[in-house]
């Protein structure tokens, strides 16, 4: 029995050490996870007769913390949701849902905001300026890459049917989205839309190229604006898509990652 004691002691020591290391790794070795942000689009609701004309598009519960992101400056403003309401027309039919937020004295006018973060607090917010690429050869190569990957055809049914439309033969407008350790470009085309036998050039589809892979972005009649910003270390692009000749309109917010493009929020409630 005495001869077996050192052996039993060794087994107990090893088991205790392994268990201790396992518990230590569970307590200290897990990577920290950042809470996922939930977003809403900001709209003007001065017609609603509320204390504030700043509302969120959509139905949200009362009492949710709201961080408004200023469009032109890296500033934010804190507020809180009130009770959700349905906007109705004169006949009583619901047009779209909206949620007023508590008026905050230091917040600016509604047109200074377009995106709101719900629930979680943010630690950093920065406006990102995209730059137009003027090098014709570079634009041509990005155009060829986009067309070769056939991403524009995937956008034909976004916000309506666009099968009858053709792309302008002119080179696209290309912007570089400056993200460290990534090559990111936004390629914007024009669409030829027929009116009474003639042709009118409209703002067409956009693709985004991330590390030489093209992804479909906004539809064949895209919103005129693109807004880019960095939020808690991640990069976002706000724009939208609408039907070329009907009343469908979709506000969109995308996240740009090394692994590709992610649509984090979209809302088509304002469609006719």
pLDDT digits over 37-96, tens only? 799 999 998 876 667 789 999 999 999 999 999 998 999 999 999 888 877 666 666 677
Cα of 20 vs its chain's centroid, Å: 44
Cα torsion through 237, 192, 174, 129, rounded to 10: -40
Q: Which of the pair, 256 or 159, is modelled with greater confidence?
A: 256
d(CA 66, CA 8): 61
Find, among 133, 148, 140, 44, the residue nearest to 96 by Cα.
44
76-80 β-sheet, strand order: 76-80, 65-70, 113-118, 38-44, 54-57, 94-100, 85-88
Query: Confidence class of residue 36 from pLDDT cuts 50, 70 and 90?
Result: low
Nearest-5° Cα angle at 78, 76 to 80: 145
Predicted confidence (pLDDT) at residue 194 exceeds the cutoff of 80: no
The domain spans of the chain are 38-122, 131-267
Per the confidence metrics, is the pTM higher than 0.85? Answer: no
Q: What is the mean pLDDT of residues 13-38?
A: 43
Domain 38-122 has CATH 2.40.30: yes
Query: Confidence class of residue 22 from pLDDT cuts 50, 70 and 90?
Result: very low
257's tokens: 């990652």
pLDDT score recorded for residue 222: 92
Taking only the tens place, the pLDDT of each residue in 140-184 is: 999 999 999 889 988 988 988 777 788 888 899 999 999 999 999
pLDDT score recorded for residue 86: 78
Mean pLDDT of the residues in the chain: 83
Query: Confidence class of residue 2 from pLDDT cuts 50, 70 and 90?
Result: very low
Taking only the tens place, the pLDDT of each residue in 100-150 is: 998 677 889 899 999 999 987 899 999 999 999 999 999 999 999 999 988
CB–CB of 117/39 below 8 Å?
yes
End-to-end Cα separation, the chain, in angstroms: 88
């Amino acid at each position: 029995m005495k001869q077996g004691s050192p052996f039993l002691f060794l087994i107990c020591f090893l088991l205790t050490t392994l268990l201790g290391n396992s518990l230590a790794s569970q307590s200290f070795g897990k990577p920290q996870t950042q809470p996922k942000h939930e977003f809403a689009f900001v709209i003007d609701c001065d017609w609603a007769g509320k204390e504030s004309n700043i509302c969120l598009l959509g139905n949200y519960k009362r009492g949710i913390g709201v961080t408004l992101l200023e469009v032109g400056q890296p500033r934010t403003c804190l507020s809180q949701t009130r009770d959700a309401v349905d906007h109705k027309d004169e006949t009583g039919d619901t047009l779209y849902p909206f949620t007023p937020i508590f008026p905050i004295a230091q917040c600016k006018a509604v047109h200074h905001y377009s995106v709101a973060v719900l629930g979680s607090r943010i630690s950093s917010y920065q406006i990102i300026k995209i730059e137009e690429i003027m090098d014709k050869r570079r634009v041509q190569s990005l155009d060829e890459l986009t067309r070769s990957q056939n991403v524009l055809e995937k956008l034909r049914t976004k916000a309506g049917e666009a099968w009858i439309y053709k792309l302008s033969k002119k080179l696209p407008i290309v912007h570089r989205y400056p993200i460290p350790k990534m090559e990111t470009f936004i390629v914007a085309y024009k669409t030829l839309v027929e009116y009474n036998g003639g042709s009118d050039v409209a703002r067409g589809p956009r693709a985004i190229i991330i590390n030489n892979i093209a992804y479909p972005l906004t539809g064949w009649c895209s919103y005129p604006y693109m807004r880019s910003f960095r939020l808690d270390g991640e990069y976002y692009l706000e724009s939208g898509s609408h039907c070329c000749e009907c009343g469908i309109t979709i506000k969109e917010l995308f996240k740009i990652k090394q692994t590709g493009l992610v649509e984090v929020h979209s809302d088509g409630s304002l469609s006719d």
